[in-house]
A and B are shown apart, each in its own frame.
Chain A
């Protein structure tokens, strides 16, 4: 599904964020990326759809090149990747439904969409995605009237509306309390199990990562220092990843 080879990212002038990452993600996996803050989790995720431009290395999605893709084919790659952000990143002033419909932008006819016109089946799909996250009654509310947890569920619905093959989630619960964390991670797990969607999620809470992931990838200083199932992680590995002291 995803193939990463020799991925490097240096932020100018000389901040090394990713230092040669190799990774293969198979269809249906729920990959949890863990590590200290600054270890490169966010940069890794953002390089996968080139929200951050990698300095070197190769990323392939289903065999098609992401790195070096033309603007046109990059858009078609991005269509297949849903993204969920720590800060939800909804457009505040418009309705919940309009936010979810934004997930259809890569699929619908371009010109009518500029006038806010979407085909009926896309509207129905958007509503179905809202239903899946339990917010169908909120469709016409303004996005910024929702609570943080609700906004993140809308963001998940937006990602699902893309009908993606992969969902990337960058610290999706870092702005939420423990109870909401469970609810959001539960929804992601359901998507993974029921829809067989591939998930790559960065998570700074080790407990949460071990509970929900089917595979753990740990980064330290931009390198993969552990890659395996959750039950293969020993206290010693944890020590190595976090360099003493759980965060």
Chain B
């Protein structure tokens, strides 16, 4: 009986907190409905797209792609040592715990925040964008790598160690062949995510197609903005498609 009372109280408490959150964030259905005509107007003004800006849109898209590819590749390499250093079955606890803590700390801040930081540090353009992608992605990949390393079969690793191989050789011949396909698949997945992340890097001056989206919206040039968005959607879908095909091939 008392357990039921406790349960009901807990349920009420959760509901109360949730209601508070709804009020605090000013969630309102009527307001949403009143906004509908404006949304329709916004979209109507985007049609037809102004295809004369296609050239700069493609240039921007290309730069976004470049930021994502370079950033992801560099991060994939940097994450290798980090990943091994945060795998429980490779290093002693005295290294593992600090390494994991460091990864979690840097992962708690998103790519966009890093972009603001690096724009302030090295100036505008694609380079701070790359630095931001590298920082966040290296930490995320290192975490994924380390979990893959912790999930390997111990038998083959032991067999390599039993031949008298050095620690590095054990890593290279016992562990790496087991995790490499997984690593490759994680990197491709991060590349897909980073393409999307890199599209908004331009909003804070860190290069790429986002710059054009933001500029045309500010100039209230909706037809141009919609042309840029079309290019953006095409690029994201193209990369997603190619990457998922590749991933299916690897694993």
A residues contacting B by CB (< 8 A) are 49, 51, 75-83, 85, 87-94, 98, 102-103, 105-106, 110, 113-114, 155, 158, 162
Contact = CB atoms under 8 A, between A and B. Distances in A.
Contacts of A106: 163-165
Contact of B162 (A78, A91, A94): A78
Contacts of B155: 85, 87-89
A155 B180 CA distance: 22
**Main secondary structure on chain B at its contact with chain A?**
helix
Interface in B155-169: 155-156, 158-166, 168-169
B164 A114 contact: no
11 contacts: A51-B161, A85-B159, A90-B159, A98-B173, A102-B173, A110-B168, A113-B169, A114-B168, A114-B169, A155-B159, A158-B163
- Of A87, A91, A93, A114, most B-chain CB atoms within 10 Å: A91
Nearest to A155: B159
Contacts of B173: 91, 98, 102, 105
Given A89-B159, A90-B156, A76 B164 contact: yes
Chain B: number of interface residues, binned into ranges: 20 to 34
Contacts of B156: 89-92
A77 B164 CA distance: 7
Given A105-B169, A113-B169, A93 B177 contact: yes
Nearest to A93: B177
Contacts of B165: 75, 102, 105-106
A51 B168 contact: no
Contacts of A77: 164
Interface string B45-85: 00000000000000000000000000000000000000000
Contacts of B159: 83, 85, 89-90, 102, 155, 158
B174 interface: yes
Given A102-B165, A102-B173, 7 more contacts: A77-B164, A85-B155, A85-B158, A89-B159, A93-B178, A93-B180, A110-B166
B92 interface: no
A110 B169 contact: yes
Contacts, number: 76
A51 B164 CA distance: 11
Contacts of B172: 113-114
B98 interface: no
B181 interface: yes
Contacts of B181: 93
A89 B163 contact: no
A100 B19 CA distance: 65
Contacts of A113: 169, 172
A49 B178 CA distance: 24
B209 to A, nearest CB: 38
A121 to B, nearest CB: 17
Contacts of B168: 110, 114
A162 B165 CA distance: 11
Given A85-B155, A91-B174, A93-B178, A51 B166 contact: no
Given A87-B155, A92-B156, A105-B169, A51 B177 contact: no
A81 B165 CA distance: 12
A142 B153 CA distance: 17
A162 B163 contact: yes
Given A102-B173, A110-B168, A114-B169, A83 B162 contact: yes
Given A113-B169, A114-B169, A114-B172, A91 B164 contact: no
A78 B164 contact: yes
Contacts of A89: 155-156, 158-159
Nearest to A103: B163
A97 B161 CA distance: 18
Contacts of B166: 75, 105, 110
A105 B157 CA distance: 13
Contacts of A102: 159-160, 163, 165, 173
